[in-house]
Structure formats: C-alpha cells, structure tokens
Structure 1
C-alpha cells in the first residue's frame, strides 16, 4: 500500500508531466550556434559538445556531416529528456534512434559508460554500425554484442564508451561473470548508464522474465510415452480446461483411462503424476504456431509482445521436454539452474536508467513505481493527420473474418498499401491463405521469418503492397510511402485483426501509419469471440448486430475498452506481486556479490580460512607456498559460495511456489516469504563458512580441486524462461479478484 505522500506525488506527477520548457529553450537556441559550428573541425566540435550551452548545436553538426542526418528540434528535446534521466515518448518515425545516439554520446562525453539496450541482436548491430561514424567523429568508441559474440569480442565491446546489445545478452554476461573464478576472465564492467530502446517493452512487459544460467548438462527428460497417451484423451470427457484457458486437469474418467494405460494407481506415483500433467499441459494449452513454432528440429517460443521468436527462451525444463515430446523431437539439454535474474533486477543495477519508446505514457505509473522514472512526451515534428476509425465489431469470429477479407480486397483494388497486424502466427498464415484464395499476394512477416523484417517493412508503403505482420512493436524500421500517388489514395492503411491485451500494442500498430505528417488511417476488427473479450469480460454480452452483422452500439466499444483495462490491470498486479517477491532476492544478490568480489579480487578467502584454521593454514603453506595456498583458499570459498547460492535460489523458488497457500490461514504470503527468506540467507552465509572450512581442512595440495569434491559444471548455457505460461495459483487468484473488483466497480458506477 502506497503511503499518503506517495499517493499525493503520483497524483501531482501524472505520466507525461515532465516540463519540456527548459529542453525546448536549449533546442531552439541551438540554431543560434549553427553558423559557427559549420566552421569547426571535428576536434573543435568535440570540445563544443563538452559545453552544455553548445552541446546540441555541436552534435547536430556532427550528425549532419557524418551520417547525413540533421536532428530536428524535437529530437534534441528527446535527447535532453534522456540525459535528464527520463523515459521519452516519441512517435513512430520521429527519429528515436538518432535521439538515443545523441543522448548516449552526451553521457559518454561526461565519462560515463553507456549500455544502449535493444530488444534484439539485429537492432543492436544495425544501430551501432549506423551511428559509428557519428561517435568516432566525437572521439568516442562504440561496440556491439550478439548471441554469437565470443568472450573476447564481448570484453572488447564492453570496453568501448558505448555498447549496443540486446537486454538478454547483457543479462547473460552478468550471470556468466558471476561464476568466474579469475578476474581476468570477466567481460562486463561495473554498470553506469542503461539507455533502453522500446523502454515500455523492456522495462514493463518483460520485467518479470527470468534470465537463467544452467550447468551440468544432461539429456532432457523427454516423456514420449506420456505425449502419446494424452493424444488419445478428449476434452470434456477425459480432461477439462478452466474458463481462462490457463489450467487443465484430468476428470475421474481421464484418471481411470491413464491408470489402465500405465497399469498403476496414478496418485501413488508422484513423478508419474507430474509427467502426465506436463504432457497434458503441453497437449491442451500450448498451441503450435500460436505459443511456439517448430523450426530446424527445435521448439522456439514466440514472444507475445513482439510477435517473433523469443531467442534462447524456453519453458521450465519439464514443460520444455513435454512440448518437445508432443512434437516428436529430440529432447534438448537440461540441468541445474546455477543462477538467474529477472530483467527488472538486471536493469535496477544501473545508477542511471533512461530510454525511449512510442508508448510510454500508458505505463507511466509502472515506470515510476518500479524504477522511479518519469515520462517526457515529445511532440511530433509535424502534426499527425492519420484518421483512426472506430472499431468494427462483429458478434462472431466468422463474421469478422469475412468482413476483414472484404475490406482488404476493396482497399487493395484502389492500389492503397495495407498493413495488417494479427495476434499470432497461425492467424497470419490463415489470413494469408484466405487472401490468396481471392487472388491477392500478401507478404507475411511473422516469427518464422523475422530475419527478413527490415526489407519487408521497408516495402510496406509501396502502391498495392499488402503486408501481414504478427506484431509491429520493436520492428525498428519506418514505413515510408513508396511512390507518387500513394498519398492521394489516403496513405498507408493499418488494419488490426483484433485488440491486444495492451492498448500500447494497438497504438504501436497504429503508429506505423501517418509518420512525419503523412496521410494514413487505422481500423481494428473485433468479435465477441476474441480472446480479449472471452477471457477478460466473460460475463458480458455484446449488443445485437444489424442486418450487415456489424455491431454499431456504443456499448460494444465500452466493453472492448473495459476488457482491455481489466487485462492491463491484471498484468500490472502480477508484475507488482512478482517484484515484491523478487526484491528481497535482489537485495540478497547484491550482498552476496559484494562478498564474492572481496574474495575474487582480494585475500578475503585466505584471511577467513587462516583465521578459522590457523594451524592447518600454516601446515599447508609449509607443504606448498603461501601464494598457492592463498589461491586454493580463494577457489574453495568461491566454489562453496556459488554452490550455496544455487541451493538458496532453489529453496526460494520452492518456497514461493507454495507460499500462496498460507493465505488460506489468513497470513500474508509476501510477509511469510520474507519471514523465511531472510533467516535462510543468514544460514547461507554460515553454510558457506562451514563447507569452506571443512574442504580446507581436507585439502591436499598435490591434487586438483576437481578431484577433491570441488568440481564445477563441465558446461554452462543460458536461456530465458517463460516463467509459468499457465500462471501460478496465486497469479490466477489475483486475476479473478482483479476481474471481480473491476466488474463490481463498473456495476456500481
């Protein structure tokens, strides 16, 4: 519960309320210095950029000379907003990439290392290479990191003044560094500035995503016989799915069928129960080409907020294996989780966070609550003249699909370019098939071919183009009207095949049309059978349709907005709930890393063991040397610290999994979690000391540590976890309560 001062502050500081007046004065004033800047050398321009009064004019001139881009005043305002530590909202096509580069240069010129954080490798490399001449002219260095970068390449990139990388790669490097036992092997420096592109997506939508470091590879625990068994089960007879489509359970008949097939009493075998439930979840709740795709013999998850393959992302091991068995694929490696960190935990390590996106105001409260960030809304360089039409609402999905195809056919006949945003891969391919049946030739951009996205998006504004995309947020490429006459046709028409659970994703799609004052239009097609309405307004019925099967009653528009607000509220509450649990873990992580650094960089390990067992320490030094025993002591303490931390993470994960049940005893689950997590951490420190001392006493200087019970994993790998695609019981309770409360408030109003 927020305190009264916090509530007052939130009321007074509404999202987007950052005063731009001072930034505007500086940006407008830059024009006065431009004539002089044109006469300066790059070295002189760098000196001018160090001066706050001439910074904007200097970087504008450098950008114009090096990359042929002269920043607009609004881009300079965005730059100054980021340099002041805000998240800047700038519309699609307003030049966020260049504004971000100017801000990165500003931080770097102050002597602060900058991590320019992107949503994927492609954008990280593209932006780094695009902006490199600009940075070089200012005497700054820039590097980029991709999934395939070697440790040496990563170390070199992080040594630059500005480093571009996907958020996942930065997190994985942090986790890998946390397992290093030699300071020379570290690749990542102490963080200073995080400049986040698509800030709402990274800081809010993906904040809860855990990045994982695993080790000790073993074959995956695939259960093909369970996959074959559940394929024979029928919904409604052998198993039932809850109203929200997030939980599935066997009926009495289903249990009998499974027991007969396996020849056991099912609930006497806990492991078998787990395998059956995982196989049933994979079979009944996860859909190919919606939740994942299969490519190159592997299961690839689809990131719902981006509509593309979630690189290196996977479900928890048991469910991952169940999906692989369902698709009759070879199991991937599994192993012990050595460490993990959420994206929010990763980014809150940075003393300075700023960023940019096209849709920040809608998550302004979240940014303030979780990161203490404010939103600065930068006006467009040219007024937006796009026409956003009211939703076209239909009772059934079939009626909606028929009307959708007819609209596309009619608009295409005029030559107008059309961009259609679908909600998932399966829908994009189904629409593609329908359009081809009508003689059209759409280009499909979805999770299966996102490597081609830049070229596809670049052509989407050409006359007669039909582009079908699963998600436009974070595509990183503007759509320009491609030929004479397109503007006269009304510009790019954006069509949404359904409303997303987040209004920001709708706005991101809309924003692809009407860039830089271009004409354009947008419209969404919605049906009463869409998942948004069935999941978040299940008890509400749409008004009756007219003779043309379209619903024009204003109450339909209200219900769609209501369902979307409920969905957004549920996600915020789950985020808030997750962070309440994660916060104590992040505090403990900071403390344990400070302790680890003292051992890694200094003599703390040797000093501790020498104090604990002085006679044994002296005995070992006599058998070897002081330097060798000090190094052995360091490695012993590091090993047990890492081992105990891994065990502590497992304990906290198990604790959280069942903690919500304490609510049944009228106890606060979060208070109960903290009540156990804090003493568990104290025991962790004691256990590190106990194990380290025991290993040191038994240490034999003439044998490798790996042969003395101190063997580290032979291999490690990283991935992101789709934490729990079905939601924990506690999260489902939150969802039901949130929906009930919102419905109650609406009925009372």
Structure 2
C-alpha cells in the first residue's frame, strides 16, 4: 500500500510538472540491491575486480551491480568509499537526470561512477566541465578508479594539440571544458579532408555545474573566426570620446545599458573630426558606428568590473564566476574599442566563419545528465530547454549551517561600513571568514577597507585566479579572512582547519566558516552557492548577506522602490516592506533573464536547424565523391580521378562554407533590427523566419553554381590543385573565442525591461 501511495504521489507530481518532481524513493530502494551485489567483492583481487567489470560489457546489467563494483573499486583506487548519497547521485545520473547535491557532498566521485557505468554500457561519455583546471584535475584524480574498472579516460584543455585531442576523444570517458568541445566541433566544420576530423559522434554528456553550463552560459556563442583585412579601432576616436562630458555630450539610460550622443555631442564630434557630417551617407556606417562603439567602451564598460588589464592585454571577466573568461571577446569592434581605450595593442579581428551556442552544443547529445548544488531553482528552465528533470539528493549529514536574515542598508557606504564592523567582530574570535563579493573592484575595495581597520585578508579574484586552489583550500584556517569574487565552479572544498583539517575541532567550536555576502546576486542560485561553502558534510557554519538600496540589483530591477519608513542610526532598514525589495528585484532579474533566454532560443532554433541541414550536405560532400559526380571531369585532360575528386571537393566546400559565413552575417544583421517590426504590428519571429528561410534555400544551389564556375577555370594539373591558384582562398589563420553575451543590450532585452517598468507602474 505504501509503495502504491508513493507511486501515486510521484505521478501527481509529474502531472503538476513541479520542479524537483523526481521521487527519490525508487533510487533508495536500489541501495539494498547495491549491498547484495557487494557480497564477496572485497575478496577479489584487483585483476579479478577488473575482469568482473569487463564482463558487464557483454551483457545487460543492473546499474546497482555497477555501483557495487564501483564502490569497491573507488575504495581501493582512490581511498574513498562512496556514501549512499553518492550512489544515489550516480544512479540518478545513469537515468539521464540532473542531480542536486550540496557543496562538499562528493559530486566528482558520483559523476565518475556514472561515467564508468555509461562506458561499460558501451556509450562514449564526455564529462563537461566549466574550466581547464577541473577537467584535468578530475580526470587525473578519478583515473585510478577508471583504470581499475577497465575504462579508458582522457582529458583536453586549451593547450592540447590536435593529436592529443584525437587521443582523448578516442577514450571511453573524456573530461573537457564545454568551450573546448565546442571549438573542436567548429574546427571540424571547416575540414576539407575526413582524416582531419577529431570529434566523434556525440553520445552522452555528463555536465558538471549543470546549472551554470546549461543556464548561465546557454546563450553564449562559441565562435570560429578567420583572418580578414578588417579595420581596427581608431585611437583618435578613442581619445576623443574620453573628452566628452556626461549630460552635455551624451546621456546614459536608466539601467546603464546604453549610451547616446546628444545634439551637442554630435556637434562636438563633428568639429573634432574636421567639420564632417556624422549622419551623411559617407560617415553614418563607418565613423558614427566607431564613435558609438568607442563611447560604449568608454562609458559603460568598467575596468576591474567587466574586464581587467594584465600583461598588456584586456581580459574579460566572467560575471557568473568572477574569474578571467579565457578566449572570450566582445563582438562588433567593441573588443578593439576597449583595447584602444586602455592603450594596449589591438588583438586580431576577423570574419566569423561559424558559431554555435552552448545550448546548441549540448543539445546534440542524445543522452544528457548533470550535477550541481543548485538545480531546483532552475528546474523549469532545465525542463523547458533540455527536457531534463531534477532529483534532489539529501546530504550525507544534516546541514546545521545558520543562515541569518539579510541586512539591508540605505546607502552603499553604510553597507560597507557594517560589513567591516561585522567581520572585525567575528574575526576577534578567530573564526575563519569568507567574504563573497560581486566583482573585482568591490573585492579590492573591501580588502582595502579591512586593512585600514587592521584586518589582514587574502584576496581571490580574476587578477590572481591561478592561485585559487591554494587560497580556497586554506580559507577555513584559524583567523583567516578570504575576500573572493564568485565562488561557483571553484572546484575546491573549504575544509575547516585548513587544507589538512588539522585545526578542525578548534574551528568547529568557534562555529565553523562564516560566509559574508557583500550583495545579493541577480540569481538566487549564486547566493545559495556562496552560502553552500559553509556547513559542508555536517560541519557547523554560518552565513549572512548585506545589501543596500544603491546596489546595482535594486537600481536596475527595482528603481522605484519606496523609501524605507524605519531606519536605524547606522542606516540599517528595519521595516519589513522595504526588506523584501531586493528579493523582489532578484525575482524580476531572474524572470527577465529567463524570458530573454526563451526568446533568444526561439530565434536560434531556426538557425540551428539550418546549420544541421548545411552540415548534412557538407558531410556528404566531404565523405563521398558527390562533388566530382556533380561537376564532372571537364577539360582537365591527363589528370587522375583522384586529383580531380580532391579538387572538386575542396572547391565545393570552399563555396559552401563561404556562403554559410555570409548567411550568418545576414542573419545577425536581420536579427539586430527585427524587433522593430513589432511597431508595424508584425510578429518579429515570424518575420525573421519569413526572410531567413528563402535566403537559406539559395545557399546550396548557389554553391554548386560557383563551384562549377571555379572548377571550369581552375588550374588543375597532374601534380594536384591549390585553391589559391583559382583566385579564391580560405583565411590564412583561424582562431576561436566566446562572444561576451549581449554586450550592447539587444532590442529584445530593452523591450523586456520596458515591460517590467510598465508592470511596476500599474502596481
């Protein structure tokens, strides 16, 4: 009866489509089976255990049997016997689910058990990580476990050479940053010889920090660019915009997302550039565009917030992780404009050959699963975009962390004064403190104020992220104050008493790690990830967040908040109505971002469908003789079929790729202004499809026509064929990068924020 009731409740939850609707009970029931399968395993030798795992490859097997073998293997290979909660996590992953496991609960080992299980089922697994460090660390850390189970494991990072990549992809389990997998796919898409292909067909993606990868980075495009003779930023214009004055020469919108020249500003620019007419046909598409981009770089992008300058280069900061976003760039000349602003050498720019979003990349895998500490908060998004459900795994030991109510102050200065006072009071007892800040500038400002108050601290931000593992590992030491930007994806647990936990009992008696948040994030998940650094594995701990009515979150998403009616002498807001202001602002921010994600994907779905069709055609050209059959031998006498087949393939692929590149540019330009169609009572998405589809349908026929013309006049000899000899050539160099998401604020985003304002006005 109890089982029937549990099943009924599960079905009702599924019918209601509530977040975290996967019932844990069926997985708990498998723990008894895991114990049954464990009988006698401890008596086997290592070779016998490996052989027993190998037997699974030849038959269908119960995942509980795999978990029993993996539990025994993990204890022998890495000295860690998976807890029941880790086994539950592995079972969920093997069912293609996103499992939520709290920080410090052993997600890495649970993921390795599941990856080994998929491999023994005969499926190739890509364990997708958020950065190079975690890919290499986890692959090497779990390597002995995989080897004892007879599973080959490899990893790649940014430095991996083509042959190293090919070797890693040949393994049954491969760890890699999501960006590197995407870049390899993009490079494969311009290959002209099947032997140059590296990435095998996708099968299973097991995603670490799943909410960060699947949600926060879903819209981020990965880009493959090729060298062109493009214009660099004009240092004269960069210097000119530095002299323009706010409110006189330019205005900034309420949310500081866009900047506009005033009439006086336009006149000042025109005079400075030799009395030109900025809005003439001669200058509107070039000079005016450069001025607008330079102004955006000067006014809206801030050093040590949006980027840092290190080693003579501009490095973007990933705002969801607080670290340098390696290989990431702004598009449309903005990168060069920031470099000109900072007077550093301009990096190479070029034409986008192809791109793909992280969401499109991971949607390629027939089987997807993931693990994170904060999945429930994005359960709706995971279900809508990836058809993934969430399974919440309880902690191995009950969490006893004391999470205090947030403290809201009227001004930024009052908030930061209160933060320093709080840290000083707690520090006097010797309790370790982790201070989580929102950006680099804030981390350095707080650190300076702490030092002025006589409090020494260690700072971890994008400027010294290479030292992060060592800094985080000792953040739980006696009297340690650590000031850090975003903690998501750091990958290193904070152990009470330091990296060796030598002082564990002493720190526990003091109350454990104390987490101080200097502001609420635009996503509640990031708040939860910061809190989760304290109270791991049943340890004591505490957390508190500070906020002010001047914080960006409130100024952007709740600018019309009522003035507080009750304020203490130190600026602390006491009335309950105002205390809910930042929670409301956070919900608005999350809603806006979800709607932008939803609408962006509606546009990208068509582009991805067109990309799939082009790739199917391209793959046929690449792997068969269809180009030779289509173009024919022509006038090339005395040349072998082998040479002609190669020439036909290279020529056809060149024109196909070139037309696709131009189509992407067309779609980008079309998308940029399509939201304006709404003013004419037209549906922008319908209009986008109406224009994008006919343009796409011309690509393949036109590629054959161009290929035929090139082939007819191509200088093909018995020695071979060079594309450049025909007057056309591929870029001399290519490189990859990520486009910083939505740097200018799209028309869609501005529309969404406008709706938010309208709703506020009706309240």
**Farther-moved stretch of structure 1 (262-271 vs 446-455):** 262-271
Could you say if the C-alpha distance between residues 42 and 217 of structure 1 is closer, same or farther in structure 2, counting changes exceeding 3 Å?
farther
The reply to whether residue 516 of structure 1 matches residue 531 of structure 2 is no
CA distance in 1, matches of 2:579, 2:321: 25
The residue number in structure 2 matching 1:37 is 41
Pairwise CA distance, 1:282: 0.6
Q: What is the CA–CA distance in structure 2 between the aligned matches of 1:44 and 1:23, rounded to whole Å? A: 27
Equivalent position to 1:625, from 637, 640, 649: 640
In structure 1, what is the equivalent of residue 522 of structure 2? 501
Query: Take 1:444 and 1:521, find their aligned partners in 2: how far apart are those partners?
Result: 20
1:375 is aligned to 390
Which residue, out of 11, 16, 34, partners 1:12?
16
Tell me the CA shift for residue 10 of structure 1: 7.6
Distance 2:758 2:31 in 1: 49
SS of match in other structure, 1:485: helix
1:720 aligns with 2:735: no
SS of aligned partner of 1:740: helix
The structure 1 residue matched to 2:607, chosen from 568, 572, 585, is 585
1:554 Cα shift? 1.6
Which of 271, 283, 287 is equivalent to 1:260?
A: 271
The structural deviation recorded for 1:217 is 4.9
Alpha-carbon distance in 1 for matches of 2:758, 2:82: 49
CA RMSD of aligned residues (A): 1.5
- 3-state SS of the aligned residue for 2:506? coil
Other-structure match for 1:661:
676
- Contact 1:494 / 1:509 at 8 angstroms: preserved in 2? yes
Matches within 5 A, 1:276-675: 276-482=291-497, 483=503, 484-543=505-564, 544-610=566-632, 617=633, 619-620=635-636, 622-675=637-690
Pairs within 5 Å for 1:218-257: 218=229, 221-257=232-268
* Aligned counterpart, 1:711: 729
- 1:607 and 1:367 mapped to 2: Cα distance? 46
**Structure 1 regions of 5+ residues with no counterpart?**
1-7, 611-616
Is the Cα contact below 8 Å between 2:432 and 2:475 reproduced in 1? Answer: yes
How far did 1:607 drift?
A: 1.7
Shift of 1:523: 0.3
SS in 2 for 1:267: coil
1:486-542 CA-to-partner distances (Å, cap 9, x unmatched) read: 111111000000000000000000000000111011000010000011100011124
Equivalent pair of 2:715/2:725 in contact (CA under 8 Å):
no
* Map of 2:29 onto structure 1: 25
In the alignment, is the contact (CA less than 8 A) between 1:219 and 1:333 conserved in 2?
no
1:614 matched residue in structure 2: none
Match of 2:70 in 1: 59
Cα distance in 2 for partners of 1:579, 1:9 equals: 27
C-alpha separation between the residues in 1 aligned to 2:69 and 2:574?
A: 55
Q: 3-state DSSP class of the match of 1:174?
A: helix
TM-score calculated relative to the size of structure 1: 0.96
Which residue, 109, 113, 117 being the options, matches 2:128?
A: 117
Deviation at 1:235, TM superposition (A): 0.9
Change (3 A) 1:70 1:218: farther
Distance in 2, matches of 1:385 and 1:556, equals 29
What is the CA distance between 1:381 and its match in structure 2? Answer: 0.7
Q: Quote the offset at 1:556 in angstroms.
A: 2.4
Change (3 A) 1:673 1:582: same
Q: Summarize deviations over 1:626-678 as a string: whole Å, max 9, x none.
A: 22111211111111111111111111111111111111100010111011111
1:308: Cα distance to partner?
0.6
Contact 1:662 1:669 in 2 (8 A): yes
Deviation track 1:656-714 (CA, whole Å, cap 9, x = no partner) reads: 11111111100010111011111111111121111111112222213522110231111
Counterpart contact for 1:393–1:400, Cα < 8 Å: yes
User: 1:730 offset after TM fit, Å?
Assistant: 2.2
Separation (CA, whole Å) in 2 of partners of 1:367 and 1:36: 41
Q: Output the CA distance in 1 between the equivalents of 2:700 and 2:37.
A: 59
1:738 maps to what in 2? 756
Q: Distance in 2 between matches of 1:245 and 1:496?
A: 24
The 8 Å contact of residues 301 and 314 in structure 1, kept in 2 or not, is answered as yes
Shift of 1:218: 4.6
Aligned residues: 731
Shift of 1:192: 0.7
Cα contact 2:14–2:21 (8 A) shared by 1: no
SS of 1:476's partner is coil
- Among 103, 112, 125, the residue aligned to 1:92: 103
Shift of 1:45: 3.8
Structure-2 residue corresponding to 1:70: 81
Distance 1:440 1:737 in 2: 46
Q: CA deviation at 1:743?
A: 6.3
Structure 2 residue aligned with 1:689? 704
Higher mean alpha-carbon deviation, 509-518 vs 316-325, is at 316-325
Aligned residue for 2:397, secondary structure, equals coil
Moved more, 47-56 or 319-328: 47-56
Q: Deviations over 1:393-427 (max 9, x none)?
A: 11011110111000011110000000000000000
Question: Which segment drifts farther, 733-742 or 651-660?
Answer: 733-742
- Does residue 134 in structure 1 map to residue 155 in structure 2? no
**More moved, 361-370 vs 705-714:** 705-714
SS in 1 for 2:699: helix
User: Shift in Å at residue 19 of structure 1?
Assistant: 1.5
Q: CA deviation at 1:740?
A: 3.0
Q: 1:536 & 1:9 partners in 2: Cα distance?
A: 33
User: Is 1:457–1:478's contact at 8 Å kept on the other side of the alignment?
Assistant: yes
Question: Which residue in 2 is equivalent to 1:173?
Answer: 184
